[in-house]
């Protein structure tokens, strides 16, 4: 399960908001002014280089344009990143304000990552899913939110549909089928078909909003686009899939390099593994306590406070989880149950006042078809320039071609309590609430380059926080379900590196997830596909969670009796979504390192 907050290419930004508050700009040093100018150039040029992501960010100057993913376009982006990095390194960072020291460090990391990914990783040659994200986002980003009158958005969609055949042709030219792993090609084949559903579901129902002339142009664009998608599908199935036999495992060198860029943390791969394996033991011990509390009222025999054997621990936890799994929604009720979960979490938080809350609840929707097959749920939040628009908590439906047995396996995993915990993670006080706070921070650069480990770690922390504060306190099966999800984040970090670096097999991963972590077969099988398609992102949940817990403990020690949950939560979320090390330094007035 992937629990994300917004789908944005992290190389873009906007000049529509200042990189820092105007009050600070008035007293800025020469270094600050130089950084401000550099930031504006980078933000502006980045969106010119990727109009599709610019739309998602909220800069609509280029809504009729698409990205150039040819070799020439790629080299233009590389030269820009190298030049910007050289200019950034020429600025004396010791003379920057604390806020700008953080933004400069984040930007430098992004630029170095961009250069490395282009020159060394070369995902443009072997990862077709990057092209899929662009092709789908080009239209979805225009139609999903009402940032402009519908006719204007339809005209932009028309222009993009006329150009998207070029993007698909460029993708065919740049991808090297022999370098593409089979899981990537197979997923691409399944997702590419969904591009046409964006037109069917989001564009065609509104064609009556256009004049006859503009509608005729749209009709022609749809025919051209659909034909291009069909042509591309034929190439995927006839050329790409048969030739895609490359190893999806990236190896230690690539994994470690990307891990440093992803986390911006001092934790090494070995230390993450050590902490995760220790956490497996501690979380399972807590699960035993919750299972014992759930089962004790219905058992005549006294269950010991601590298990007498590993098998007793396993059996008791499994027995209690089976009780929770028996309370599950019908296969067509996922959105309704998720919506009810958001309402329950919101009501609890409004009563407890442990964090400031958004004025409106998140909207729960079915996941768009072109995004399915990778994640069970995600939060699609508005871009930094459209903070007044809504967020979507997208839930993937059960595939129509799944058997009843497969659907039951899925719904045992995502039972009513499991879905409630996901609502906490995705919405309240998880991603939706955190990003609402983050959008109040004025640095668009920092919003564009948000830290995945901060965002995902916060959402896992939010789940733990709710149970700490008494959410569903009279329901030990909820605590057990929440701990099971927490154990999932721990094992995510283990399999992330074990698969890509240590050669963990599917059978070994399935045993770890279904036995040690108590996951249902469908959930574990889906994780194998996800682990094949990505690397290092699965580590962000556990690492970020650990960093959030450590930072809260540091604040409690520093503030003493003055510590207050609302003060802490509003404070740590007030800096946007930087890597946790910087959020801690800003909150506790530590040196920016």
DSSP assignment of 539-554 equals GHHHHHHHHHHHHHHH
Burial class of residue 237, CB neighbours in 10 A (0-12, 13-18, 19+)? middle
Mean pLDDT (10-residue bins), the chain, 593 residues: 36 34 59 96 96 94 98 98 98 96 98 98 98 96 91 98 98 98 97 94 95 98 98 98 97 98 94 98 97 85 85 95 92 85 94 93 75 63 76 80 84 90 93 92 93 96 98 97 96 98 98 96 91 96 97 98 97 97 97 92
Over the range 400-436, which residues count as b (16 or more CB within 10 Å of their CB) and which as e? eeeeeeebbbbbbbbbbbbbbbbbbbbbbbbbbbbbb
379: three-class secondary structure by DSSP? strand
Specify whether the CB–CB gap between 573 and 437 falls below 8 A: yes
The tokens for 185 are 């090609």
Cα–Cα distance for residue pair 15/43, rounded to 1 Å: 6
Query: Residue 375's pLDDT is what?
Result: 55
Cα–Cα distance for residue pair 84/68, rounded to 1 Å: 20
Q: Which of 118, 32, 81, 109 is nearest to 451 (CA)?
A: 109
Query: Residue 331's pLDDT is what?
Result: 82
Query: Residue 8's pLDDT is what?
Result: 34
pTM: 0.89
Q: Which residue has the tokens 């739309």?
A: 55
The tokens for 315 are 């059996």
Name residues whose C-beta falls within 8 Å of residue 150's C-beta, 6 or more positions apart in sequence: 206, 209
Query: Residue 410's pLDDT is what?
Result: 82
SS3 content of the chain, % helix, strand, coil (to 5): 70, 0, 30
Cα–Cα distance for residue pair 286/523, rounded to 1 Å: 22
Peptide bond into 429 cis (omega under 30): yes
364: three-class secondary structure by DSSP? strand
Query: Residue 376's pLDDT is what?
Result: 67
Query: Residue 571's pLDDT is what?
Result: 98
Specify whether the CB–CB gap between 228 and 165 falls below 8 A: yes
């Amino acid at each position: 399960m992937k629990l994300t907050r917004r789908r944005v290419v992290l190389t873009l930004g906007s000049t529509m908001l200042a990189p820092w508050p105007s009050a600070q700009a008035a007293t800025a040093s020469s270094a600050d002014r130089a950084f401000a100018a550099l930031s504006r150039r980078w933000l502006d040029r980045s969106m010119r280089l990727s109009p599709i992501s610019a739309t998602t960010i909220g800069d609509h100057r280029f809504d009729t344009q698409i990205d150039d993913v040819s070799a020439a376009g790629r080299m233009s982006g590389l030269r820009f990143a190298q030049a910007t990095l050289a200019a950034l390194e020429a600025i004396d960072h010791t003379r920057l304000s604390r806020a700008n020291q953080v933004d400069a460090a984040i930007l430098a990391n992004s630029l170095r990552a961009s250069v490395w990914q282009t020159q060394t990783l070369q995902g443009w040659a072997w990862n077709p899913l990057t092209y899929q994200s662009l092709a789908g986002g080009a239209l979805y980003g225009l139609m999903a939110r009402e940032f402009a009158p519908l006719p204007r958005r339809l005209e932009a969609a028309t222009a993009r549909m006329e150009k998207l055949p070029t993007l698909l042709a460029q993708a065919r030219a740049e991808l090297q089928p022999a370098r593409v792993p089979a899981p990537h090609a197979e997923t691409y084949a399944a997702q590419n078909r969904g591009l046409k559903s964006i037109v069917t579901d989001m564009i065609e129902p509104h064609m009556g909003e256009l004049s006859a002339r503009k509608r005729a142009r749209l009709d022609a664009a749809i025919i051209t686009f659909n034909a291009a998608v069909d042509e591309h599908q034929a190439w995927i199935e006839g050329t790409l899939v048969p030739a895609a036999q490359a190893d999806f495992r990236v190896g230690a060198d690539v994994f470690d390099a990307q891990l440093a860029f992803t986390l911006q943390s001092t934790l090494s791969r070995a230390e993450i593994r050590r902490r995760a394996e220790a956490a497996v033991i501690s979380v399972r011990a807590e699960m035993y306590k919750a299972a014992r509390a759930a089962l004790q009222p219905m058992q005549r025999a006294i269950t010991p406070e601590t298990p007498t054997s590993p098998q007793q621990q396993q059996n008791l936890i499994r027995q209690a989880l089976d009780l929770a799994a028996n309370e599950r929604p019908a296969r067509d009720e996922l959105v309704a149950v998720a919506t009810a979960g958001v309402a329950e979490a919101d009501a609890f938080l409004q009563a407890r006042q442990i964090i400031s809350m958004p004025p409106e609840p998140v909207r729960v929707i079915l996941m768009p078809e072109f995004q399915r097959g990778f994640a069970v749920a995600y939060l699609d939040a508005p871009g930094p320039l459209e903070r007044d628009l809504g967020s979507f908590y997208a839930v993937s439906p059960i595939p129509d071609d799944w058997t009843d047995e497969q659907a039951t396996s899925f719904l045992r995993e995502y039972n009513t309590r499991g879905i409630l915990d996901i609502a906490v993670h995705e919405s309240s006080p998880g991603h939706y609430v955190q990003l609402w706070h983050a959008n109040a921070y004025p640095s668009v650069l920092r919003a564009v380059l948000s830290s995945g480990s901060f965002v995902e770690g916060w959402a896992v922390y939010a789940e733990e926080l709710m149970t700490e504060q008494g959410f569903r306190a009279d329901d030990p099966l909820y605590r057990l379900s929440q701990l099971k999800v927490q154990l999932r984040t721990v094992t995510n970090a283990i399999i992330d590196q074990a698969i890509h670096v240590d050669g963990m097999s599917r059978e070994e991963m399935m045993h770890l997830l279904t036995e040690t972590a108590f996951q249902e077969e469908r959930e574990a099988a889906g994780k194998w596909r996800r682990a094949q398609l990505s690397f290092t992102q699965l580590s962000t949940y556990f690492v970020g969670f650990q960093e959030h817990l450590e930072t809260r403990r540091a604040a409690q020690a520093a503030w003493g009796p003055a510590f207050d949950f609302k003060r802490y939560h509003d404070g740590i979320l007030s800096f946007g979504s930087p890597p946790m090390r910087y959020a801690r330094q800003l909150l506790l007035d530590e040196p920016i390192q």
